Amino acid sequence: MLDTAMLQARHSLRYYHAGEGKVLEIRNLHATIDGKEILKGIDLTVKAGEIHAIMGPNGSGKSTLAKVLAGHPSYQVTEGEVIYQGKNLLELPPDERAREGVFLAFQYPIEIPGVSNANFLRMAYNEVRKHRGEEELDPLEFDDLIRERIKIVEMDTSFINRSVNEGFSGGEKKRNEILQMAVLEPKLAVLDETDSGLDIDALRIVAGGVNKLATPDNAIILVTHYQRLLNYITPDRVHVLFNGCIVKSGGKELALELEQKGYDWLKANQRVTA
């Protein structure tokens, strides 16, 4: 008993030192693809329970940031560091990041013919459970779980047995991403343009799903070009990414300002500073 208590105490102490509820800390992050620098010094801190929105014009580096956090092999980090729950995230391969609780909802979810959603999700879920030292679920137990979670995204249960994303509409693919998030329960979820290509119903469902999945223990980063998603999900912080740098940060009202002003003022600003 004593041992366990001490262990817990030590553990929480370490957690405390790891960063006062910080889930993610990005410091001076530079990243390139094919030798071209896309991220040019990003600094960002996200705490547990927070929702951050990263906005910006096309080509500003939003999706690159999302992919670098997930560990996409095409991008090279040339400078800076990313601390995730006290660990150096950049040292981990993509699958370990995922098992540690990092989740990326893809802008363009991949179709996987011949692999059912159920089998895929069960394999993924069990990998995470194994990593946490928990027992794996058998197909029947997992079926109960997925039938419960699928309600969050208001999808028909027939989707469970279809091939992953194959023949899904754009909206169905995005809802499937949120279903995966609901099953895997990540500590840090990065949603890359999850609102693009959605009709109004799908937007409402996807946003509703994200709101249900946001807890005081996890953190969510919404990468989006448009403000409309933020009508449904209220961010704690909004950051404007431009030309590989965060040029402005603020509260939720910044999103409205951007919606009114567009992104052209950024380009004008840059010309002035240049």
Partner 1 sequence: MLQLVKEKDSYLSALRPFVESRSGKDPAWLERLREEAALSFEALDFPTTRHEEWKYTNIGPILKVQFRHALDQGGQRPVAQCLERVTFPESRHSQLVFIDGLYAPELSDRSGAPSGVVISNLAEVPAAHSDVVREHLAAYADYRGDVFTALNTAFLGDGAFVYIPHGKVVEAPIHLLFVSAARAASTISHPRTLVVAGRGAMATIIESYASLAEDIHFTNAVTEVVAGEGAVLDHYRLQEESESGFHIGTTQVSQERDSRYSSCAISVGAEIARHNLNVLLDDENTESVIDGLYVVAGRQHTDSHTSIDHAKPHSTSRQLYKGILDGRSRAVFSGKVFVREGALLTDAKQMNKNLLLSSEATVDTKPQLEIFADDVKCAHGATVGQLEEEEMFYLETRGLTPESARTLLTYGFAEDVISKIRVPSVRRQLDKLVLTKLHQSLEVR
In sequence order, the 6+-apart residues with CB closer than 8 A to the CB of 14 are 86
240 binds partner 1 (CB under 8 A): no
Among candidate residues 73, 61, 56, 54, the one with its CA nearest the CA of residue 37: 61
Q: Which of 12, 74, 76, 270 binds partner 1 (CB under 8 A)?
A: 74
**CB of 202: closest distance to partner 1 in angstroms?**
21
Contacts of 13 (CB under 8 A, 6+ apart): none
CB of 184 to partner 1, least distance (A): 7
Q: Is 123 in the site for partner 1 (CB under 8 A)?
A: yes
The answer to whether 167 contacts partner 1 (rule: CB under 8 A) is no
Q: Is 134 in the site for partner 1 (CB under 8 A)?
A: no
Name which of 102, 109, 111, 60 is nearest 83 in CA terms: 102
Kindly state whether residue 73 participates in binding partner 1, applying the rule CB under 8 A: yes
Q: Is 243 near partner 1 (CB under 8 A)?
A: no
The dihedral sign for the CA sequence 151, 154, 156, 160: negative
Kindly tell me which residue out of 32, 163, 231, 243 binds partner 1, with binding defined by CB under 8 A.
163
Closest CA to 206 of 234, 183, 173: 173
CB of 155 to partner 1, least distance (A): 17
For residue 99, the minimal CB distance to partner 1 (Å) is 5
Residue 268 in contact with partner 1, rule: CB under 8 A:
no
Residues 6 or more apart whose Cβ sits within 8 Å of residue 25: 19, 44, 45, 46, 82, 83, 84
Task: Report if residue 189 touches partner 1, rule: CB under 8 A.
Answer: no
**Are 228 and 195 in contact, with CB atoms under 8 Å apart?**
yes
Q: Please say which residue, 50 or 100, places its beta carbon nearer to partner 1.
A: 100
Q: Are 194 and 178 in contact (CB under 8 A)?
A: yes
Rounded Cα–Cα distance for residues 102 and 231 (Å): 25
> Which of 18-26, 81-89, 115-123, 211-219 is the region at the interface with partner 1 (rule: CB under 8 A)?
115-123
Instruction: Extract the tokens encoding 123.
Output: 């394999």
22 binds partner 1 (CB under 8 A): no
Under the binding rule (CB under 8 A), the answer on residue 99 touching partner 1 is: yes
Q: Does 142 bind partner 1 (CB under 8 A)?
A: no
Range list of H helices, 71-199: 94-99, 117-131, 139-149, 170-184
- Phi, psi (degrees; rounded to nearest 5) at 79: -160, 155
**Position 6 contacts partner 1 (CB under 8 A):** no
- From the list 37-45, 98-106, 207-215, 253-261, the region that binds partner 1 by CB under 8 A is 98-106
Q: Which of 84, 106, 168, 242 binds partner 1 (CB under 8 A)?
A: 106
Strand partners, 26: 44, 82
Which residue lies nearer to partner 1 by CB, 128 or 210? 128
Q: Retrieve residue 273's tokens.
A: 């500073």
Residues that bind partner 1 (CB under 8 A): 70-74, 93-95, 97-99, 102-104, 106, 109-110, 112-115, 119-121, 123-124, 127-128, 131, 163, 180, 184
